[in-house]
Structures are given as structure tokens and as C-alpha cells.
Structure 1
Amino acid sequence: MELVRLGDELNGVVVRVLGRFGAGSLQFHDHLAAEVVVATEFVSGKLDLVLTPADLQDWEHALDALAAGGGVRWLDGGRSPEVQLSVLERGRLVRVTVLDEPVSGVSVTLDLPVNSGWVDDHRARLRSVREAWPSEVVESSPGVYRWR
């Protein structure tokens, strides 16, 4: 399921959720295995990542900032590829940088056209991911987990 889709089939960035990362393990059950895919006519690549419930919350906040015309850094905790987004040309373009600082140090920046309503589309994608893989674990105190 695609959480993020910016661009088209020739040039774009996609964050695809593949399923639960640690299904059945209390500590990791709500973590999601995912991948970020960058595809252009010039360069392409794919990086694996794990999304935590906090990452999904951060994405929700990032969408709010993007709707207001701001820029964001998402997944910037140093454990996975970072995604930077900024709105350009009065909302008609989004500059996306995927930075693989933790492993290769490589970054790719794309300016991608977006349609009006693209933020709402991404909010709907986030809702769909949360519905497909609802939170089933509660951290009752630091490092202590239980099933809901």
C-alpha cells in the first residue's frame, strides 16, 4: 500500500508499506516494513525502512505543514533514509530529497509537479495505512508493552 506517491511512473518518489515488521512480537508488532523508491529517467533506487507509529504521527504533522506551504524533514532521526519536502511555485511543485545518510550518504532531489488536493490525497493514504495495520500494542511505561 502506498503511503506516499509523488510524481508519475517516469519520475517520482513512493513510500510503500509492505506489512507488519515484527508481527506477533509485542515490542515491534506495530512497526511497519516499508520501502522508499526513487525513480527517474536518470537514476533509480530503493531503500528499505521500518516505520514506527511515531513516524506515522510525524507524517501527519508533516502534511499539516505542507498544506500551509512549508517545508518538512520526515524520518530525520538518523536510523533510516530521511525525506525532505518543500512546496514550490505556489503549490504546483514539491521538491523532494531522499537522503540515505545512515548507509550510503547518497541523496537524490527531484522537483515534482503536484495537483491541487495532493495533501488531502496523502491524508487519505495515511488513513488507509492505519486502517490496514491498526495499532494493537500499548506501551504502558517505557519498555513495557501489552496487547490492546
Structure 2
Amino acid sequence: MELVRLGDELNGVLVRVLGRFGAGALQFHDHLAAEVVVATEFVSGKLDLVLAPADLQDWEHALDALAVGGGVRWLDGGRSPEIHLSGRESGSLVRVTVVDEPASGVSVTLELSVADGWIDDHRARLRAVREAWPSEVVEASPGVYEWR
């Protein structure tokens, strides 16, 4: 399921959710296995990542910032590829930079066309991911996890 889809068939950035990362293990059950895919006519690549519940919350906040014309850094905790975005809700271009600092040190920047309403589309994608893999674990106290 695609959480992020920016660009077109020739040039784009995707964040694709593949399923639960640690299904059945309390501490990691709500974490999602995912991948970042960058595809252009010039360069392409794929990076694996794990999305924690807080990452989905951060993506929601990032969409709020983008809706008012701000730029954002998402997944900037140092444990996975980082994604920088800047653009406007009604603009036709979004600048996306994927930075793989933890592993290769490589970064790729693309200027991608987006349709009007792309932020609302991404809010719907986020809702769909949360519905497909709902939170089933609660952290009762620091480091102590329980089923909901």
C-alpha cells in the first residue's frame, strides 16, 4: 500500500508499506515494514525502512505544515532514510530530497509535478494505512507494552 506517491510514471518517490514489521511481538507489532523507492530516467533506487507509530504521526504533522506552504523533514531521527519536502498545496511542483545518511550517505533531489489536492490525497493514504494496520499495542509505561 502506498503511503506516499509523488511524481508520475517516469519520475517519482514512493513510500510503500509492506506489512507489519514485528507481527505478534508486543514491542514491534505496530511497526510497519516499508520501502522508499526513487525512480527517474537517470537514477533509481530502493531503501528498506521501518515505520514506527510515531513516524505516521510525524507524517500527519508534515502534511499539515506542507498545507500552509512550509517545508518539512520527515523520518529525520537518524535511523532510516530521511525525506525533505517543500511545496504548496496548490503548486504544481514539489521538491523532494531523499537522504540515506545512515547507510550510504547518498542523497537524491527531484522536482516532481503534483496535482492540486495532493495533500488531501496523502491524508487519505495515511488513513488507509492506519485502517489496514491499526494500532493494537499500547505502551502502558516506558518499555512496558500491552495488547489493547
Give TM-score scaled by structure 2 length: 0.98
Partner of 1:84: 84
User: Which string of whole-angstrom CA distances, capped at 9 and with x for unpartnered residues, describes residues 91-111 of structure 1?
Assistant: 221000000000000000000
| SS state at 1:35 partner | strand
Q: Please show how residues 2-81 of structure 1 align to structure 2 within 5 Å.
A: 2-81=2-81
Counterpart residue number, 2:131: 131
Distance 2:21 2:139 in 1: 17
Separation in 2 of the partners of 1:54 and 1:91? 28
Question: What is the identity, as a one-letter code, of the residue corresponding to 1:65?
Answer: A
Aligned residue pairs, count: 148
User: What fraction of aligned residue pairs are identical, expressed as a percent?
Assistant: 86
1:54 alignment partner AA = A
Return 5+ residue gaps in structure 1 as ranges.
none
Cα displacement (A) at 1:9 = 1.3
Q: Distance in 2 between matches of 1:115 and 1:43?
A: 23
User: How well do the aligned residues superpose, as a CA RMSD in angstroms?
Assistant: 1.1
Structure 2: give runs of 5+ residues left out of the alignment: none
Greater alpha carbon shift after TM alignment, 56-65 vs 79-88: 79-88
One-letter identity of the residue aligned with 1:74: W
Cα distance in 1 for residues equivalent to 2:142 and 2:94: 37
Match of 1:119 in 2: 119
Aligned to 1:103: 103
SS in structure 1 at match of 2:45:
strand
